Amino acid sequence: MTALAPTLQAFFTDRLINQRHASEHTIAAYRDTLRLLLRFAAERSGKPPSGLDIEDLSAPLIGAFLDHLEHERGNSARTRNARLAAIRSLFRYAALRHPEHAATIQRVLSIPPKRFDRALVSFLTETELDALLGAPDRTTWTGRRDHALILLAAQTGLRASELVGLRRSDIKLGRGAHVSCLGKGRKHRITPLTTTTIAILRAWLGERGGQPADPLFPARTGTTLSRDALEHRLAKHAAAAATRCPSLHDKRVTAHVLRHTAAMRLLHAGVDTSVIALWLGHEQAETTQIYLHADLALKEQALAKTKPPDAKPGRYQPPTRCSRSSKRCDYADLRAAITAPTGRSRPQVGITRTSA
């Protein structure tokens, strides 16, 4: 038996489950990463997965595996880095159990994560959100469910996993109405609800019925709504809303976009970023800085404060037509000079020639 097989088993049963008490999502992500790695290593080395050893998972092979993820499987740099993090976690655990492979392990651990471009967050304006909320057919059961779900997501900023994991008992509509959820990192948090959201949820709970442990937004069969089904419903309603609000054609509406929308609405209302971080359940308050970068209105206000006292308000707009006081447009003169026939030599601007 090679050293890799018992190390892999102990990594899941001892390290992740017993020591770290990792969530099922973390365990599934690590499992998928190592499954892909073993399959790639078996094809490269010609050995069965049960015959692979730690030495077979060398740094060059890990680098080739990461390139394979990007170029052949079409994964993004973020996914590549997530796979690398799982591999490094395994090798850090193996370093304590197999010091005889310290050189190979150290070279793998020295592989750096890949840098990537950070795009501005996408969010919905008030007009776009109103169009999306009006898209579900509220004469049907699924339409009323989707309307309540979208409204709750846009007001609370819950993650997709938190939305589909909500139970009827997680909604409190009495005094101090709020929704409670178990979020990322096993953190419990509560989020207050607005009057409009309370009214919609009260009507939905009355229609939904069921036991306190039942899903708040179930599928037609009564089971928990899957994340894929949630994204499918949002895409369907976004396509319908785009007929009323054409700007939605250029946006991909997901549950995370609704989360960004909730954060931007709080930011526009003047809420401090530290409070927004608590509202969204961020691990670090610095994570909320991405919303400051995406808020053009705040930058416009900062720009307005820097203008001279005698300047006209607003941003500079270039003229679109010639002034009435001039006979010809300066741009037209410049264009005519550029396209003029080359029958005579043109003067060279900035160069002065003197005769001897």
What is the tens place of the pLDDT at every residue in 161-175?
899 999 999 999 988
In this prediction, residue 339 has a pLDDT band, given cuts at 50, 70 and 90, of low
Greater pLDDT, 30 or 301:
30
Alpha helix stretches (DSSP H) within the chain: 4-10, 24-45, 59-71, 77-97, 102-109, 126-133, 141-156, 160-164, 195-208, 227-241, 255-268, 273-280, 289-294, 296-304, 330-338
Percent of the chain with pLDDT over 90: 56
Please, which residues have CB within 8 angstroms of residue 108's CB and are 6 or more apart in sequence? 57, 58, 59, 62, 87, 88, 91
Burial of 347 (0-12, 13-18, 19+ CB in 10 A): exposed
Averaged pLDDT score across all residues of the chain: 85
Question: What is the architecture, at CATH level 2, of domain 4-109?
Answer: Orthogonal Bundle (1.10)
Distances (CA, A) of 64 to 47, 101, 118: 17, 20, 25
Q: Which whole number is the average pLDDT over 330-335?
A: 53
What the block records as the tokens of 152 is 């709750």
> Is pLDDT of 292 > 60?
yes
Greater pLDDT, 180 or 300:
180
Residue extents of the structural domains in the chain: 4-109, 126-298
CATH topology classification for 126-298: hpI Integrase; Chain A (1.10.443)
In this prediction, residue 351 has a pLDDT band, given cuts at 50, 70 and 90, of very low
Q: How far apart (Å, rounded) are the C-alpha atoms in residues 281 and 180?
A: 12
77-110 residue pLDDT tens: 999 999 999 999 999 999 999 999 999 999 999 9
One-letter amino acid at 37 equals L
What the block records as the tokens of 305 is 């404060």
> Is pLDDT of 314 > 70?
no
Predicted structure pTM score: 0.71
Residues recorded for the chain: 356
Catalytic residue annotation: 159, 184, 256, 259, 282, 291
Please, which residues have CB within 8 angstroms of residue 117's CB and are 6 or more apart in sequence? none
Percent of the chain with pLDDT over 70: 85
Q: Residue 313: what pLDDT? A: 63
Place of tokens 């070279």: 107
Q: Which whole number is the average pLDDT over 4-22?
A: 92
Q: Which whole number is the average pLDDT over 186-199?
A: 90
Q: How far apart (Å, rounded) are the C-alpha atoms in residues 97 and 175?
A: 55
Q: How far apart (Å, rounded) are the C-alpha atoms in residues 12 and 33?
A: 13
Greater pLDDT, 211 or 318:
211
